Amino acid sequence: MKLIATLVAAAFAAPAFAQTKPAAETPSWHGGKPPALAESTLHPFAPHMTGRPAKELPVNTLKVPAGFKVEAWVDGIPEARSLALGDKGTVFVSNRNAKNVYAVTDQGGKREVKTVLKGLDAPNGIVFNKGTLYVAERGRITRYDGIESKLDSPGEGKVVVDNLDPNRQAGHFWKYLAMGPDGKLYFNIGAPGNIVMPTYNEASIWRVDPNKGTLEQVARGVRNSVGIAFNPKNKDVWFTNHGRDWAGNDIPNDTLHRVPIKSAVPNFGYPFCHQGNVLDPDFGKNRSCDEFAKPAQLLGAHIAPLGLKFYDGKMFPAEYQGNIFIAMHGSWNREIKQGYNVMRIKLDEKGNASKPEPFLTGFLQDEKADPPMWGRPVDVLVLKDGSMLVSDDYNGIIYRVTYGK
């Protein structure tokens, strides 16, 4: 491990002091870039803000295992992000940039997209539970009761909890949202930059009682999670996490984490330690990775894992039951790009995670091009019939994966 830490430090041959905030005139994703990489042309990829029709894209080049089929389920949902399933079969879809939430209804195979909520503040996380749609905005979580019966006029949302972003941070302000088996809403508050010292509530996973608004911390030292799910067997909470940028092509890995539902609050290391065994060249000085909890699995460097779900449907073969499916948004802070797929992770009898293996691929066209892909998976959702939906914010499309049909 000392060799790995040495290699990371060498990549920062002339390191500046770690920034508390990126300069105001500089995009937040530049934060932590070392002088040696000042001329780097690596950059994030913006989505097509108005979306693209599925018929104009090579959907037929997508690949799934034998016996499976993938097709475009619906298009015309700009920057389709998080997915939630209503009791009546409505699929709710978030759009953090356009400030909207959409609803997709299906009447005899004919799908209609409606804009049901407008003018929200970066509404990324959504979850549906017992007739209520919960929406995680930048600084608050709101609820819309009985929304499926009034899609055309859902009314004003009721605030569950507020003041979640008092400093209007420039970094990872968008939130994922999941309903836990304990009836509490789980969400992330990301770090306010690439590699910075977070405040007490940042770089953490939290939960809130939707009836009382009471907050509890679930995990610390989590740079940026955009996916949370629960093991249906033992109720453990699992979540994805993005490692820091500008530390090299292959370090650090993005990670998958597990926290037992009633455990003490673990600290996974950010900003001092990355991927469980790599000290940060600035914040990690005079620290040890042995201080911190370890990830459940390494997922790949800069691969950008987002939404994840445990498969609990009946359509896929038995070997897929209880598997974790993760939408990999794909890398930008890496010269040879990777990701842009949906990966599958198996759990053994003790609940340990296997190495990820490809499930849905074909979005990545040229790993050295700019951009290298034609689509970017964001979230996954299991429908009542056991099929799986995958959102693509780059094109504003939702794909459906079926088996044996």
pLDDT tens readout for residues 157-202: 999 999 999 888 888 999 999 999 999 999 999 999 999 999 999 9
**CA distances to 126, 130, 244 from 203, in Å:** 20, 30, 12
Number of Cβ atoms within 10 Å of the Cβ of 59:
18
The counts of H helices and E strands in the chain are 1, 26
Q: Which strand (E) or helix (H) includes residue 118?
A: none
CA 127 to chain centre: 14
Host domain of residue 196: 7-12+43-403
Q: Is residue 305 part of a domain?
A: yes
pLDDT tens readout for residues 336-351: 999 999 999 999 999 9
CA 164 to chain centre: 18
Q: Is residue 134 part of a domain?
A: yes
Tokens of 117: 């909520």
Q: Is residue 151 part of a domain?
A: yes
Number of Cβ atoms within 10 Å of the Cβ of 186:
26
Q: What is the CATH number of the domain that holds 391?
A: 2.120.10.30
Q: Is residue 38 part of a domain?
A: no
Q: Is residue 37 part of a domain?
A: no
Q: How many domains does the chain have?
A: 1
Secondary structure of the chain: what % helix, strand, coil (to 5)?
10, 35, 60
Cα separation, 283 vs 265, whole angstroms: 21
pTM of the model: 0.93
Q: Is residue 168 part of a domain?
A: yes
Q: Is residue 147 part of a domain?
A: yes
8 A C-beta contact, residue 94 and residue 82: yes
What would the DSSP string read from start to end of 221-289? Answer: S-S----EEE-TTT--EEEEEPPPSSS-SS-SEEEEEEE-TT----B--TTTEETTTEE-TTTTTT--G
Q: Is residue 144 part of a domain?
A: yes
Please report, as a single letter, which amino acid is at residue 151: L
CA 47 to chain centre: 16
Q: What percent of the chain has pLDDT over 90?
A: 87
Rounded to a whole number of angstroms, the CA Rg of the chain reads 20
Measured between its terminal Cα atoms, the distance across the chain in Å is: 48
pLDDT tens readout for residues 17-73: 344 444 446 788 899 999 999 999 999 999 999 999 999 999 999 999 999 999 999
pLDDT tens readout for residues 353-383: 999 999 999 999 999 999 999 999 999 999 9
